[in-house]
Amino acid sequence: MKPADLAARALTLLPAETAHRAAIRGLKAGFGPKDTGLADPVLATSIAGIELAHPVGLAAGFDKNAEAPDALLAAGFAFVEVGAVTPRPQAGNPKPRVFRLREDRAVINRMGFNNEGLEAVKARLQARKGRPGVVGVNLGANKESQDKAADYVLLLKELSGLADFFTVNVSSPNTPGLRSLQTGPALDALLARVAEARWAEPVFLKLAPDLEPGDVEPILKAVQTYKLSGLVVSNTTLARPDTLGSARKDEAGGLSGAPLFARSTELLARFRRAAGPGLPIIGVGGISSAETAYAKIRAGANALQLYTALIYEGPGLAVKIRDGLAQLLKRDGFERLSDAVGADL
């Protein structure tokens, strides 16, 4: 096992949030893994005009304050999404608020968009401007904001030009009222204001896995009407599958990791079938291996993000998935990754 993976395993002995903070400090200090390999050309892809050497990215939630995106890119991720960031600094929900479900290879969190706020993230993104690597920003609303749409508009205006893409996150289960913005007139009102505020960068909409089947078509219509670039499917779930075996399974918050895979992949496929081949979709939820990554692609994902599996598999997971995915594509006769998108539908 590589030293970075050993260090990651050691961190699992610490309380979850303490371990996370230690991991960020280690990355900032230069102790993260360094990937010197090249992605197989079969993996090269493009999503919403963003060119990627391979499809494996890091989901939002790990580097909330944009402290270590370059170290994470150096570890082998093709792209990194920082945040969620809110306009004003926010402490988040009371601790403890992160729970490892080891038996289930899962995590429950009720963090509540804890972050240092717009100004801190903006300063760090300005400092790295011009450096190589694809970095996006996950946008959130402050808990106390009465006009949450105004928070997204402000963030887009202030951060435009400093990131490669943005994600409007209306699917966290840990900010009261936020998920109500995903559907119906509230979504239309939000996206209309987002459309007026955005600049040149692609803007994605991040959705919850707990949507109803009848929500798919109206969401796609709103995305098309307001010319968003694509979807991120999906965030954490409030559901608790019967298969969960951990004593922590009934903690409040969003469930991520292996138990989310089937639910999030089913929703991804539903959106792909309804949207057709043209809409960019980033697949997230339960990816822990090359095989699960491949299943997301065959269900309709153009690119991928992971996070929870890193806790159990170590920071070398991105490269393992990248290289294994190339082998699977070649095994099945695909000349390029895009040919496999939606192959199972």
CB 342 within 8 A of CB 300: yes
Q: Which residues on adjacent β-strands are paired with residue 138?
A: 83, 167
Angle 173-107-133 (CA atoms, 0-180°, nearest 5)?
85
Number of CB atoms found within 10 A of residue 293's CB? 23
- Which is more confidently placed, 15 or 272? 272
Is residue 221 included in any domain, yes or no? yes
Does 3 have pLDDT greater than 70?
no
What pLDDT does residue 293 have?
98
- Which is more confidently placed, 14 or 279? 279
Catalytic residue from among 145, 172, 256, 264: 172
End-to-end CA separation in angstroms for the chain: 38
**Residue 115 maps to which CATH number?**
3.20.20.70
* Strands of 151-309, DSSP E: 165-169, 203-207, 230-233, 254-257, 281-284, 303-306
Is residue 19 included in any domain, yes or no? no
| DSSP per-residue codes, 131-193 | -SSEEEEEE---TT-S-HHHHHHHHHHHHTTSSSEEEEE---TTSTTGGGGGSHHHHHHHHHH
CB 300 within 8 A of CB 283: yes
If you search the block for the tokens 């887009």, which residue do you land on? 156
- pLDDT cut 70: percent of the chain above it: 96
Q: Which residues on adjacent β-strands are paired with residue 304?
A: 56, 283
Is residue 14 included in any domain, yes or no? no
Is residue 85 included in any domain, yes or no? yes
Encode burial over 238-265: b for 16+ CB neighbours within 10 A, e otherwise. eeeeeebebeebebebbbbbbbbbebbb
110 CB-contact burial (10 Å; exposed 0-12 / middle 13-18 / buried 19+): buried
Q: Which amino acid is at 187?
A: L
What pLDDT does residue 32 have?
86
SS3 state of residue 337 = helix
Cα 162 to Cα 156: distance, rounded to the nearest angstrom: 10
What pLDDT does residue 141 have?
97
pLDDT confidence tier of residue 5, bands split at 50, 70 and 90: low
**pLDDT, average across residues 33-51:** 96
pLDDT confidence tier of residue 178, bands split at 50, 70 and 90: confident
Whether residue 172 lies in the annotated active site: yes
**pLDDT, average across residues 87-110:** 97
What pLDDT does residue 15 have?
82
- CA torsion angle 54 56 61 65 (round to 10): -20
CB 134 within 8 A of CB 77: no
Cα 322 to Cα 14: distance, rounded to the nearest angstrom: 29
Encode burial over 296-306: b for 16+ CB neighbours within 10 A, e otherwise. bbbbbbbbbbb
pLDDT confidence tier of residue 200, bands split at 50, 70 and 90: confident
CB 85 within 8 A of CB 59: no
pLDDT per residue as tens digits for the range 258-287: 999 999 999 999 999 999 999 999 999 999
Task: Give the structural domain span for 319.
Answer: 45-336
pLDDT per residue as tens digits for the range 202-255: 999 999 999 999 999 999 999 999 999 999 999 999 999 999 999 999 999 999
Is residue 103 included in any domain, yes or no? yes
Is residue 92 included in any domain, yes or no? yes
**How many structural domains is the chain composed of?**
1
Is residue 318 included in any domain, yes or no? yes
Give the residue among 230, 228, 254 at the shortest CA–CA distance from 240.
254
Q: Which residues on adjacent β-strands are paired with residue 81?
A: 136
pLDDT confidence tier of residue 174, bands split at 50, 70 and 90: confident
What pLDDT does residue 2 have?
61
What pLDDT does residue 13 have?
66
Is residue 64 included in any domain, yes or no? yes
Does 1 have pLDDT greater than 60?
no
Number of CB atoms found within 10 A of residue 103's CB? 12
